[in-house]
Amino acid sequence: MYHTDNQKKKDMKIVVIGGTGLIGSQVVKQLQQTEHEVVVASPNTGVNTLTGEGVKEALQGAQVVVDVSNSPSFDDEPVMNFFKTSNQNLLPAEKAAGVQHHIALSVVGTQKLQESGYFRAKQVQEDMIQASGIPYTIVHATQFFEFAGGIVYMSMADGKVVLPDATIQPIASKDVASFMARTALAAPANKILEIGGPQKYYMADWIKEYIQATHKNLEVGADAKALYSGAAISADTIVPEAAVWLGETHYSDWIAVPENQR
């Protein structure tokens, strides 16, 4: 499914929205190794989907758009405004430019996490893409290895880390970027594709491994009533139901490598 006929798809113009971020910069690097033209689109390159600045110009002559942008704020109102407004600016401009494939990165379990303002906003984004009339692929990825520290921070209660009694299947951001780059060179799936990491953990076990590797002195516990990003979850809410691909990087190998060498 993800092999490309280079002869047919030669010299496409691919625009990467959020192309300077954690995932976007890695997607750009991989696509720049192909024969295709790659446009790095982000506010610091003069393309701002929230204001509309530079969007029309960046999309001129583009065949593919990869949107890996994210809201700078996860608070309910700003995050909804970001995804709604950005897509109101981006999708019609893509249609006008004749874009043939819109690819967006979203999160495994989005449809089950609607108590969370962030995931409500992601659902709005997905609904807008599906209603746009542009051929699309929505990639649902599990949480990135890099997010372990953020999960610790948002799960602190009374001096310890309290996590949902649930499983998680984290993935390396470089593996997500690899899949997104391959998807940019493939035909639109016109559906959601789920991806995850190679190993499923109880959330508390994964975070304990992170805490041990980073030499933090924190107690970790699990509570069935603990919320995840403001939403109640069950055992397998945030693991893939039917992953089309699993990343190759194992967390224990990844965390053992110094941060500046990953």
pLDDT in tens, 62-100: 999 999 999 999 899 999 999 999 999 999 999 999 999
Give the Cα separation of 71 and 69 in Å (integer): 7
- pLDDT, tens digit (0-9, with 9 covering 90-100), for 171-230: 999 999 999 999 999 999 999 999 999 999 999 999 999 999 999 999 999 999 999 988
Check residue 4 and give its pLDDT.
45
Check residue 15 and give its pLDDT.
98
Q: What would the mean pLDDT of 100-110 be, rounded to a whole number?
A: 98
Check residue 1 and give its pLDDT.
40
Domain residue extents for the chain: 13-261
Check residue 166 and give its pLDDT.
96
Please say if the pLDDT value at position 151 is more than 90. Answer: yes
Look at the alpha carbons of 240, 31, 260, 150 in this order and tell me if their dihedral is positive or negative: negative
Cα–chain-centroid distance for residue 157? 27
3-state secondary structure of 122: helix
- Do residues 78 and 71 touch, judged by C-beta distance below 8 A? yes
Beta strands 101-107 and 37-41 are unpaired
Fold of 13-261: Rossmann fold (3.40.50)
Give the Cα separation of 232 and 51 in Å (integer): 34
Check residue 260 and give its pLDDT.
83
Please say if the pLDDT value at position 8 is more than 90. Answer: no
Q: What would the mean pLDDT of 95-108 be, rounded to a whole number?
A: 98
Check residue 11 and give its pLDDT.
85
Check residue 10 and give its pLDDT.
56
